[in-house]
Amino acid sequence: PATLARLAEVPNIVAVKEASGNMTQIAEAIASVPEHFLVFSGDDAVTLPVIALGGVGIISVAANEIPHEMAALTRAALANDWATARTLNRKYLPLMQANFIESSPLPVKAVLAMMGKIEEVYRLPLVPMRRDTRSKLQRVVTDVGLISKPAGPVPEAAAFFIYENWAAGPHKIVVHRATCGQCSHGKGRPSGHDPNHAKWHGPYATLPEAREVAHAMTGVLIRSECKCI
C-alpha cells in the first residue's frame, strides 16, 4: 500500500489491478490512494467486496464467457443494488472459481468451446486439459446454465502425437491421434517397438501442427499417418 500510494502521485499512473486475493491488503491499498486513483479487482470472485471497499470494477476472466452477466453484476454493485449483485455473484461464483481449475486460459477456452463459441484448439505451450478436471469444469458449466446437460461426456480436445521409429528406416514418421490404441497418449508400444530406436513426440493440438512438425524433423522423412487420422 505504501508503494502504491507513491505511485498514485505519478500523473500518468491512474489505476491498479488488485489480484492479490488479500482483502486486508486491498482495503489498505484503497484507503492509501486519492479518490481519483482507480482500483479494479483482478479476481472475479472478490469483485463485490472490492467494490464495497471503494473499488470501481473488475478486470474479468469470466466476462469472456458471461459478459452481460458480469457487466450487470458490476453495475448493480456500483449502484448499491446489492441484492441483485449478490444474486448474480452467488449463481456464477462456481464458474469464477472453476476458471482456475487449471492454468489460465485453458479453462476459459474449454468453456467457450463447450458453448460453441470457438474451436477447442491449443497452441504450445498450452495443451488440452486433463480429463478429470475437464469433466469437473463441464459439470460447473452445465449447472450454471451455459450449456445443456449432454447425453454423454464432452469429447476431449483433439491431440496428436508423432511416432518416430529409426529402425523402420530410414527415420519412419507416423502421425497418430492421442486416443489411438497404438498411441495411448504417447505411451503406447506399437508392434516391434524398441525404446532404443523409437520415441513419441507430442502432444500437438491440431493435425496441421503435427504434420508441420513431422515435416520439420531432421533426417530423410517418410511421413505416413495412422488409420486413426
Locate cell 491512474: which residue? 14
151 pLDDT exceeds 50?
A: no
Tens of pLDDT, residues 1-24: 889 999 999 999 999 999 988 899
Mean pLDDT of 63-74: 98
Question: What is d(CA 171, CA 41) in angstroms, rounded to the nearest whole number?
Answer: 54
Q: What percentage of the chain has pLDDT greater than the value 70? A: 91
Question: What is d(CA 194, CA 225) in angstroms, rounded to the nearest whole number?
Answer: 20
Higher-pLDDT residue of 222, 126: 126
Domain coordinates in residue numbering, the chain? 2-97, 100-156, 160-225
Neighbours of 116 (CB within 10 A): 8
